[in-house]
Each structure stands twice: as structure tokens, then as C-alpha cells.
Amino acid sequence: MTFPPLGRLGHHRLADGRSAFRVFAPEKLALRIVFDDGRAPLVLHSDALGYWSAATEALPAGTRYRVEVDGAAWPDPASRRQPDGVHGPSEVVDIVPAASPGWRGVEIEDAVIYELHVGTFTPEGTLAAATRRLGHLAALGVNVVELMPLAAFPGERNWGYDGVQPFALHAAYGSWAELRQFIEQAHALGIAVLLDAVYNHFGPEGNYSGQFAPYTRAAATPWGAAINFDGEYAYGVREYFAENLRFWIEDVGFDGVRLDAASEIHDNSPVPIVRELSELAREIGRRQRRTVLTIAEHLRNNARVTAADGLGCDAQWNDDLNHALVAWLTGERWRHYASFGRFEDVVTALARGWVLDGTRLDRFRRHFTGSDPASTLPREHVVHVQNHDQVGNRPGGERLAALVGPERALLAAVAMFASPFVPMLFMGEEWGETAPFLFFEDFGDRRVVRGVRAGRRAENGFVPGFDPPNPHARSTFLAAKLRWQRAATPKGRFVLERYRTLIALKRAGDLGPRERGAVQVAGDAATKLVRLAAPRTLTWLNLGPDEQAIAVPEGWTEVLCSTPTRTPGRLPGHAAIVFRAGA
């Protein structure tokens, strides 16, 4: 697909240095830019498609303004900064793209992904503090960092999926210069940086997009009205989000995006917006001679998400390995675990990628979810044993190490790395973090606060008598912060060293190589042993409670075991071991 040049939106600089504004507002009668410093308003002029624009002298960074629409003033829908929060004025900023000479990115087949939330990754909760921790991630061996959403949202704290200003960096995380420093330092350490982009809905407070154009429509997502990608004036809405993707990748310097809840992006257009976005990302990558990735959180096990003649994404999140392992290790069968819990589910997830492949009833969704994964490649599946949703949407926000202990959580991690799929970690799991990660927010609208509280209670109604921690309480947010000191404890060091070994083996192509058929998976329902054989590694998983005898080819050497001690030739219950040829 060939893309026409996208028009810049909001405030931007022209080639001669002057300031210009462009706003999509069809069917409006008059638009002006009104300034907080008392200077004369700037009158905008409309074209035939409903875009309003004008240029003026160079406005200094820090100039605050609003967009007046038919007499009422609102924040700029493409604001780059909201210094007083999402309800206040917008601010002129100059953004210098991250400069990483020679940087070419990371291919999806080589990726080891680390998901983090800036606000809880460090005690400070800022980009500057996160930059100081990048050395830890480089030593761990991950080469892709995925930042949970950064777009401005109401208040101080939130997971980020309630953003209402997609072009603005949430002020509490720091400045654009600090984000640039984070990206440049990551690149210097060989780490690509992805942004979690939310293009399926706006948050429930501070969304003023409807004052300009029909950005949303009646179709509902679980979090509110859907984005209008195929209704009246959808051409301007599509350009808005395409320009947003271009902005974060080209103007800021990200190496790609994770498309949040792509299955909730409702679009009946001839060319779906997700395909348009994936092709735009690739075009930017070709132009800049670097790899730019699009990963979809689709969660319907749909092979067309990554198909060349489908949505064309590089990969998609695959929850089935997580659900199979967690259901097996915990015995839980509620909500999305209802279709899992058998030993065979773990074997199938390791061997094929999807357990729900359209041939069996999904008891959570109450229909036949999924498609045959045979047409997909292993690199098209991003698997995990923990992520923000799988932890944060539990009644108590429990991480896997808190549920089953650090050694059984490590067993699950070995299974993930030994599979042929793309592994993803959730921050802190590399040392067995047990701090809860629950949903938290800081909305100012009391009706929204009450609604969120009621929603969380309703979702956790399957646990009789359990009242989940209050999402609005600051203590819920503070409890979610990583406890870095745990990494230095004996248990933390034990888990951390094994994660480093697993990642090194994965990146070397020894453990779970990504070629189809390179990993042979076999399970024994009687002993509960799973064997994953690759050309240079042999992995045994004991998913049962009893110690079992294991066979190892002559000349192969143990490189990792998930338990501190074992008897030669045998594997303890709920443990994993990895051997390498000639090591």
C-alpha cells in the first residue's frame, strides 16, 4: 500500500520555523486558537474536508493555548503536553526524535520482550529512573522493552489504558527529553523500545474529542464507546490515529507498537485500520532502514491477524500457554481458565501455540474460539506466563510466584523459553517478585471512581466475601511498585540467574529455536513429564508432584535446573531441567 503524506495535527513547526495548527472539526462554524498569555487569538480556516488550519509567528515552547470551537474552548485533541492535566490548557513543545546512529532495531524472531509500567517499575515512577535501570535489563539479556501506555490520562496514576490525549506524554512520567534519553540509552544497550498504543477507545474522563468530530460511535468495547473507524467522517479519525502511530515512531523514535485489544477495534472498512497501521509501520521502517514492529493483542487466536493477506501484524499475543500452565499449577477454573486445566492442554500449547483452535468450546466466551495455528509461524506468537492483565485482573493481583512459589513459577518460565515462540516477561518476574499488581487509578470524576469500584467488585464476585483493594486508593498503586531489594536475596538471586541463563540460551538459538518443527514436544500423561527436544538442547518438565526418572543422551550437560537440588537421573516434582549438547 502506498500512503499519501499524513498531515500534521495540533501544533507543529513549518520548514521556516513558524508555528502552525491543524484540527479536524467537520460541520463546525468557527475555530480559533486562544492563548493563555493574552496574545490575540489565531483564526483557523477550514478546507472542504473539515480540516481547520493556520500559521503564525514561531511560538516559544511553553506557550499555553486552547482550541475554541464555536465559542467553547477545549484542549487540543492532538496536544503534545497537558501541563495542568487533561482538563487544562495544551502547551507548545518541541520534540527532538531519538538519535541512534546505526541502530537497525530487533527482528521479531530474535525478540525477548520485557513489559513494564513506568509508574511502578521504580520507586520514583519516572522515565529518568527507568533509564537508570536499563543496565539491569541489558544484563538480564532482554532486547525489547514494551512500555505500557504513556498517553496522558486523568490524575497521577493509572495503568495507562484510560488515556484521552494520544499525542501527549503523561506529565508525571517526565519530559519528552527524558523519554528521548530512555530510548537512546536502550538503543545503545541493544534494546528496542515498543509503545503500548490504545486505539480502541478513549478513557472515561477528560475525553473532549467529541467536541470536534465523531471520534467514537455507538459500538461498545468493555471500556466504553468504540473508535469510529468506519462511520461518518471516519476518514479524519483514521488519519488522526495513523498520524499518531507515525508520530510515536518517527517523531519520537519508538521501534514499534503493541496494539491494545485489537479485537475491540471495530472496523468494517475495505482496508481495516489495523492493516493500514501495520503497513504504515513497515513503510516507516523501510524509509528509516530499521525494523519497526507491530504486535497485536487480539486474543481470538485468529491466524489472519499475522497473515500477509490479513491484518499483516508481525506477531500477536497468545494467552493459551499462560492459561494452560496457570490452570494446571493452581487448579483454578474460573473465567478464562474455564477451558483449561488438563495436562494435554500444556502439551498442546507448547507444541502448536493455540489450545483453542476453533475445534473445542471456549467455556469462558461460550463459543468456538480460534483457528488452526498450522498456517502461522512460531515467531508470530508472543507467549508469557505473566503480564499486566493476567496478574492485574486477578482478585488480589497475585503474581505467579505468590500463587505457586518461586520454583514452580520458574518451571513455567522454563516451559515458555523452551517453546519455539517469542517469550515475554512481566517486570519483576525475573527475580520472583510477589508484590501485587492490581488496577489503580486517580480519576477526578467521583462518578467514574464509583463506577470503577463497582466494576472491580462485580468482576471479583466469584470469590465469596472478597472485597478487592480500592483502585482509587494511592496505597493500591504504591503496593504495586517493584521491590528491587528482593533481587539481591538468596531466592531472588537463584531465580534471576536462571532467567539470565534461559534468555542467553534463547537468544543463542539453542533453547526453543523458532523454526517450525525444530522443537519436538512429547508428553506422558501417566508420569506428567513433558519432553522438549531441540537440536542443541533437551528440556524436561515435570508437571506432577512425584519425582520421575529422566533420560539424557550421553555427552549432554545440565545447564539449568529450577530446583536447588536433585538426584542424578531424576527430576523432582514440579521442576524443570535443561541439558545442552556438548556443553
Joined grid coordinates for residue 336: 478464562
Rounded to the nearest 10°, the torsion over CA 499, 502, 505, 511 is -160
Question: Residue 505: which residues within 8 A CB-CB, separation 6 or more?
Answer: 417, 511, 537, 559, 560, 578, 580
Where are the extended beta strands (E) located within 143-215? Answer: 144-147, 151-152, 165-169, 192-197
Cα R_g (the chain), whole angstroms: 24
Joined grid coordinates for residue 456: 472491580
- The span from the CA of 417 to the CA of 510, in Å, is 10
- The span from the CA of 147 to the CA of 499, in Å, is 20
Q: Identify the CA nearest to 534 among candidates 495, 568, 508.
A: 508
Catalytic residue among 255, 267, 297, 380: 297
Question: Residue 280: which residues within 8 A CB-CB, separation 6 or more?
Answer: 3, 242, 245, 246
Catalytic residue among 146, 260, 276, 398: 260
Name the residue type at position 457: R
Burial of 549 (0-12, 13-18, 19+ CB in 10 A): exposed
Quick one: DSSP state of residue 17?
A: S
Q: What are phi and psi of 365, to 5 degrees?
A: -90, -10
Other beta carbons within 10 angstroms of residue 337's beta carbon come to 19
Question: Residue 115: which residues within 8 A CB-CB, separation 6 or more?
Answer: 146, 148, 384, 387, 388, 424, 425, 426, 427
- The span from the CA of 71 to the CA of 74, in Å, is 10
- The span from the CA of 102 to the CA of 532, in Å, is 38
- The span from the CA of 141 to the CA of 130, in Å, is 16
- The span from the CA of 251 to the CA of 244, in Å, is 10
Other beta carbons within 10 angstroms of residue 497's beta carbon come to 13
Q: 48 with 114: CB under 8 angstroms?
A: no
- The span from the CA of 392 to the CA of 340, in Å, is 20
The length of the chain in residues reads 583
70 is annotated as an active-site residue:
no
Q: 577 with 417: CB under 8 angstroms?
A: no
Burial 351-363 (b: 16+ CB within 10 A, else e): bbbbbbbbeeebb
297 is annotated as an active-site residue:
yes
Question: Would you name the residues annotated as active-site residues?
Answer: 260, 297
